[in-house]
Structure 1
Amino acid sequence: MPAKGKHRRPKFLRLPRSIAVAGTGGAALALPLMGAVCAHAAAPAAAVPAVVQKVTTVSVSAGGAAEKAAPKTYVVKAGDTLAKIADRQHVSGGWKKLYADNRAVVGADPTVIRPGLKLTIGGQGATPSSASAATPTSVRPAVAAASATRTAAATAAKAADAGYTLPVEGATIGTGYKVPGSMWSSGYHTGVDFVVPTGTTVRSVAAGTVVSAGWGGAYGNQVVVQHADGRYSQYAHMSALTVSAGQAVTEGQQVGLSGATGNVTGPHLHFEIRTTPDYGSDLDPVAYLRAHGVVVA
């Protein structure tokens, strides 16, 4: 029996940390605390699937856009220019964009493209560097377009400054342009004949690309060169050729040696200017050379 007026300090049982005791009218209920803790921890985890789902949706959408912008390949044909191709293929940005995307294939001069060249339409010509990847998306297209414009303008200016020269030095003209006669299938002479002995060096009148070099029937050994303005020069009856199809040539570069091959009455150089690489598209070659500052005797 405890002493009167004193109370004994009640002894409490030490419960495990995972159990809580609650009184309910004299009865005791054991509640697991860890269950409550787990319930609270599960709440943030439930938000994870929503985030993942959002990322996946964006990724799929981006992939669909990439498929719509898939590039295609265009094979250059005789008489093509970048401007013509860009117009026919509806290239946004015109020939400058087309050149920027295909600079590695076309080369330094956008005005000279050869038949058989494969161009990418609607593609990206260069792989972005890490620096460009860090540039805001809204800024990159403007910077790229400005750079391509400056490059193309500089190249075009360089091409415009390119000079012209005579195909042979110190020669006089024998038969002139459009002289009538039954010996020619067209009824007239389609070029001019420079009277030179066999073995005289024949030069390209301007920079360009050789589109054909070989036997040309009545023309004998011939070379045809495409120039930056879209015109073609032809050199015929040569005794030897020193260039091949697809080769780039500069103004005054040797393309062969004069001769008397094909249908001729004596050694000379038959020279034509054409609107296409083929027979029947001739222009006045003397007027063409003079228009480019060349003095023709």
Structure 2
Amino acid sequence: MAFTRATGKHRAPSRLTRRSAHVAGVTALATTGVLGTLASPATAADSGAARTVETGLTQAITLDATLAEQLDAQARAQHQQAAAAARAKAEAAAEAKAKAEKARAKAEAERKAEARAKEIREEKARAARAAERARLNAFHLPVAGSYVTTGYKSGGALWSSGSHSGVDFRAASGSSVVAVGAGTVVEAGWGGAYGNNVVLRMADGTYTQYGHLSSITVSVGQSVTSGQRIGLSGSTGNSTGPHLHFEARTTPEYGSDMDPVAYLRSHGVNV
């Protein structure tokens, strides 16, 4: 039976169609065991396809290697950045620690300096108080720069007891008379033969008397410091001329006298 082709235009089979047909033919031949020369074109075609696949794989491997290198470079850069940040952080921490240590050392130095300054101030204050106590407790001559003109227990008709119960210090009229030491006024006024006189109870419990004063500048009950003026010298009472009569006593009463020069010397006064 004869077959006829329909009339009209006909296009040649496409490359894909031809390749499909060729592959189908090769498959059939392989199945039947016929390879011969017909297999050569198929083998050639397959070799070309393999070359194409191999070329694509090489390109993929090349791309993968480039990407890996880029990733490695990026990782190294990140590592370097992290290391740099760590170093910067460590340096900042070290700098902060150094500053803190410097500030602590400065504060400690200032504290020590202030403590030392406080100690010096306290030492000066103690020294000043000690000096003041020494001044207050120190004894003085009753008339500054004077000397004894009539000694203790000197005899003569001038004294009712027959002897001098004190000592006389040279003093021009109006000379300042001071307390030889700190004490309290127990008598201030007229004292008979002593004229205007002052009697002090001293801090050590003894008594001192100052006679023939022209004027008195303290009153009974008043506390006086060592060297404080208590009156002015004169010639009141039983006196032959301006001078200061000075006595040291164990009581405020006449007759309890003791050597005034020895008394003053025992308190450090150069007489």
TM-score (norm 2): 0.50
TM-score (norm 1): 0.46
- Richer in helix (by share): 2
- Richer in strand (by share): 1
The structure with the largest alpha-carbon Rg is 2
